[in-house]
C-alpha cells in the first residue's frame, strides 16, 4: 500500500500543489488509485502529537507499505522530529519516498542506499530548520521595527462572533462543538480548522 502524507500550516493554505505532486508521482510509477491512500491536514508542524491525520497514518502503516511525502518540511519543523518519524516509519517495515529529495532507488546495495538516504535527509532537515530560524528572526525584527513606527496591528482573527459569511459559519460550528463538549480534535476536524484556533475560541468564550 502507498500512503501519502500532505500538510499545510493553516486553513487558508491550499493542498493543491502537493496533490499534484502525488498525482504525477503515481502516474510515473504506475500506482493504481486503489493502492494509494492520502492523509491530509491543515495544522502546524510544530509538534507531532497534535496532528490527528499524522497519528492516523502512523497507526495505519503495515510492513512493506511505502510512505510518500511531497516535501521533507511537510513532515516536521525540526530535524529531531523528522528523524524520529522516519525511524518510526522504518521500524514498522515501511519504506519512505520524499519527492523533493534525490532518490537512490537505483543503488542495489540496501545498506549503501539507506546510508545515502539518511545522509541527504540529515543535511536537508538541518538546512531547513536553520532557514526557518532565520526567517523567524527576520519576522521578529520586522515586527519590532513596525511597532516602533506605530505600523504593527497584529494578525487578523478570522473566526470570531462578529465575523461574516463562511468565517461566521465556521465560528458557529466551533462554538456548537464546544458547547456539546466534543473533543478538540473532533471540533478541529469537523470545522476544518487547526486545534490552535479551537483553543483560541474556547479561551475567548471563557470556557
| Nearby residues of 132 by Cβ (< 8 Å), 6 or more positions away | 77
Cα 92 to Cα 63, 64, 74, 131, distances in angstroms = 6, 8, 20, 31
Domains of the chain, first to last: 2-127 (3.40.50.1390), 165-204 (1.10.10.60)
| Nearby residues of 47 by Cβ (< 8 Å), 6 or more positions away | 81
Q: What is the reported pTM?
A: 0.60
Question: What DSSP string describes 92-137?
Answer: TT-EEEETTS---TT---HHHHHHHHHHHHHHHHHHHHHHHHHHHH
- Report pLDDT for 128: 66
Across 24-28, 99-103, 198-202, least confident range: 99-103
Q: Which triple of cell numbers denotes residue 55?
A: 497519528
**Candidate list 9, 44, 71, 95, residue with the active-site label:** 9
pLDDT band at 136 (very low <50, low <70, confident <90, very high): confident
- Report pLDDT for 176: 92
Summarize pLDDT for 32-81 with one digit per residue, the tens: 989 999 999 988 887 888 889 999 999 999 999 999 999 888 888 777 88
- 24: region left, alpha or beta (phi > 0 left; psi from -120 to 50 alpha): alpha
Summarize pLDDT for 149-191 with one digit per residue, the tens: 776 656 678 888 888 888 889 999 999 999 998 999 889 888 8
Across 10-24, 139-153, 154-168, least confident range: 139-153
pLDDT band at 4 (very low <50, low <70, confident <90, very high): very high
- Report pLDDT for 132: 64
29 vs 112 pLDDT, higher one: 29
Q: Is 125 a catalytic residue?
A: no
Summarize pLDDT for 84-126 with one digit per residue, the tens: 888 899 899 998 888 987 776 666 776 777 777 777 777 776 6
- Report pLDDT for 80: 81
Amino acid at each position: 500500500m502507498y500512503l501519502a502524507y500532505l500538510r499545510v500550516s493553516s486553513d487558508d493554505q491550499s493542498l493543491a500543489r502537493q496533490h499534484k505532486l502525488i498525482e504525477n508521482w503515481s502516474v510515473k510509477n504506475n500506482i493504481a488509485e486503489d493502492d494509494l491512500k492520502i492523509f491530509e491536514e491543515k495544522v502546524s508542524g510544530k509538534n507531532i502529537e497534535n496532528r490527528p491525520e499524522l497519528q492516523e497514518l502512523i497507526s495505519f502503516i503495515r510492513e512493506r507499505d511505502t510512505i510518500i511525502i511531497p516535501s521533507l518540511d511537510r513532515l516536521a519543523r525540526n530535524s529531531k522530529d523528522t528523524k524520529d518519524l522516519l525511524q518510526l516509519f522504518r521500524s514498522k517495515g515501511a519504506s519512505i519516498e520524499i519527492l523533493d529529495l534525490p532518490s537512490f532507488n537505483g543503488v542495489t546495495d540496501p545498506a549503501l542506499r539507506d546510508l545515502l538516504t539518511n545522509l541527504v535527509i540529515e543535511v536537508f532537515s538541518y538546512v531547513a530548520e536553520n532557514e526557518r530560524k532565520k526567517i523567524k528572526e527576520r519576522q521578529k525584527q520586522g515586527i519590532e521595527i513596525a511597532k516602533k513606527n506605530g505600523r504593527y496591528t497584529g494578525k487578523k482573527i478570522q473566526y470570531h462572533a462578529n465575523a461574516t459569511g463562511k468565517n461566521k459559519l465556521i465560528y458557529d460550528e466551533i462554538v456548537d462543538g464546544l458547547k456539546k463538549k466534543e473533543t478538540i480534535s473532533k471540533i478541529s476536524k469537523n470545522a476544518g480548522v487547526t486545534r490552535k484556533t479551537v483553543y483560541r475560541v474556547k479561551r475567548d468564550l471563557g470556557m
